[in-house]
Each structure stands twice: as structure tokens, then as C-alpha cells.
A and B are shown apart, each in its own frame.
Chain A
Amino acid sequence: MSEQVNTAQQFPGQVHDLPGGGIVLSKLDDVINWARSNSLWPLTFATSCCGIEMMATASAKYDFSRFGFEVARATPRQADVIIIAGTIVNKMAPVLKRLYDQMADPKYVIAMGACAISGGPFFYNTYSVVKGADHVIPVDVYVAGCPPRPEALLHALISLQEKIKMGMTREQIRTGKE
């Protein structure tokens, strides 16, 4: 498990000390990404047992509001990130696509749990389950587990923030090139 630190407080840029104070120089892109990454409101989208772990992560014990995932919104218009918590069945797939389309840009997707990332135990011998939510919408961060622990979801949320701060596209991250 890679060690993670909470990078939310680190403002991008360099501090130049001058007599009588100092100035911070930064790129506007970096500041925008920093602001975006620290205010990601999730959409309440829980289709099965992973949703219970997502609720636990939102509760006082783990409290993802600390990272800027302030409140779970019940409408896609106000949400920035969709946490797919649970099995996506064929009947749910068009609904998920529609919710994703209704979200305002920039939007991010976290696939949580074995069902959402690959179909999990339903990979074989099931007629009704979508084999991974990325057959329907693009996914930014995958979380393995059945269901993942709240810590694993928090790990994914911090990973998503780091990804936004990197300012790289999905293709650039996949190929490992800038």
C-alpha cells in the first residue's frame, strides 16, 4: 500500500521572499486544478452493498468532507464526481449514462467495488450484469474490494485529487507520458 499524505493544504506555486513581505507565483491552470480538486461534491449513486461503505465513509468516523467532498448531492446538476457504488445491471446502465451526461463539466468518476470495476463475482454466468462500469462511462479511479473498506475509498478520493492536481488527461496517465 503506497503511503499517502493529505495534500489539500498545499497551494501550488513558489514563494518569492521580498523585503517587506513576499509574493506567490503560480500558473492559473494549477490554481484552477487545486480549487477543483478541493471541492468535489459527489452524487448519491449507490446501487448495492458498496453504498453502505460509502455512507460509512461520509459518516463522522471517516468523514470525507475533510477532503472537500462536502455533501452528497441528490441531483447530477450539482455534483462533480460520481462514485459508482454497486452492481451496474443492464437496466441501470442507460440511467447511469444519463446521469453522467447530466453532470456539469468538469466531472469525474470513481468505480467502487468489484462489481463496478469488472463485474466481480458476476463476471461469469450472469445475463444481467454490466462487466464493469467503464463499458458505459469513462472511469478515473478504480477501487478494488468487495466491498472496499472506507479507508480504501478515502484512498481513492485522495488519488482522484492528486490526479486532478496533475492536470493530465486519461490518455497521458495511461501511457505514463506528459
Chain B
Amino acid sequence: MPTLTSRAKQVDRRPMSLAEKLYLPAIFKGMAITMIHVFKKKATINYPEQKRPFSPVFRGLHILNRDEEGRERCTACGLCAVACPAEAITMEGAERQPGEEHLYREEKYAAKYEINMLRCIFCGLCEEACPKDAIYLSETFAPSNFNRASFIYGKEELRIPHPKEDPEGYKKALGNRAKK
């Protein structure tokens, strides 16, 4: 019968020689491998002190974007909430009043914008659905917590810092993800 693979190997069934019976050469051979690994570079990343760079396609916490003048981009159209497979996004729209033009870019804005991080699966479909580039997923992961209530992120947690009032925080939060 022909063998199915070319990797078939005949088992050596000869009686052991004296050196093999002693087992000592085999032990030294094994210890040599152990010693080599002692001097190799360690694979462990000491997490809280050292951090591993994330992949450029990693999707983390959401950020509600502003434009260059610090006005909120979101118009509360609800496309992200429709696109969300876990239905984690809730929002309430409101109309911009005269005198609020420096706060909101268009006539309508999100008065309330909540993402339930318990349900969110960080798929990024909200980012894809958004016609105004108002939401994008950043490079930070969602931190763990002891209670459920703290996982409902409101506008305060999601909004990017103001580019004029807090330029450093804005730059840090922007990363290299947001579309210009």
C-alpha cells in the first residue's frame, strides 16, 4: 500500500545503547536548551509599566469629533444608531438656537448622545455610517470597572477636547485616526 504522505517515518526499535541507557547525555542536551533560553530576550511585556503599540486598525473607544473651530460635528441624524448591530447608541436631537453657532456646526445637534459600552462590540460600523465624520474609534481600549452604570458613556466622556481651549488634549485624543 502506498503511503499517503511523504513524511512517514520508520520507528527505530533497536535496543538502547549504553549511552542511551544512562539517560545523562539526553539530560544535558535538554538542559543546554534550557540554558540557551535563559539568555534569550524575554517575551513578556510588563503591562502596566510597558505598553505594546496597537495595530493601526485596532478599534477602541469612540470619540465624538469636532471641527477645527471646536464646533461639534454631530447632527443627530441617527445613522450610527441604525447601523449599530448591538443597538448600543441612543441619541436625542435638538435644534440649534441663535447664538449657539460657535458650539454646533449645523442647525441640528445631539443634545444627548450615549453609547452603552456593555453592549458595544467595537465593530466600527458607526464610524462607517457617519456622513459627517463626527464619530470615530480611537486607539484606547475601554477600561474595566466594578459597576454597570459607569459603562454608559455620555457626551462628556465621548467628546474630544476643545481644539482651542485644550489644544494638547485635542491633539492627544485625535491621534492619527480622525478624518480631516
Contact = CB atoms under 8 A, between A and B. Distances in A.
Contacts of A15: none
Given A2-B143, A141-B144, A118 B43 contact: no
Interface residues of B, number: 32
B26 interface: no
Given A6-B49, A123-B119, A141 B146 contact: yes
B48 A4 contact: yes
A159 interface: yes
A118 B142 contact: no
B44 interface: yes
A40 B94 CA distance: 50
A147 B116 CA distance: 16
A1 B143 contact: yes
Contacts of A123: 86-87, 119
A151 B119 contact: no
Interface size range of chain A in the complex? 35 or more
A120 B47 contact: no
B122 A145 contact: yes
A120 B121 CA distance: 7
Interface of B: 43-49, 51-52, 54, 58, 85-87, 116-123, 140-148, 151
Interface of A: 1-2, 4-6, 60-63, 66, 114, 117-121, 123-124, 132, 134, 140-146, 148-149, 151-152, 154-156, 158-159, 163, 170, 173-174
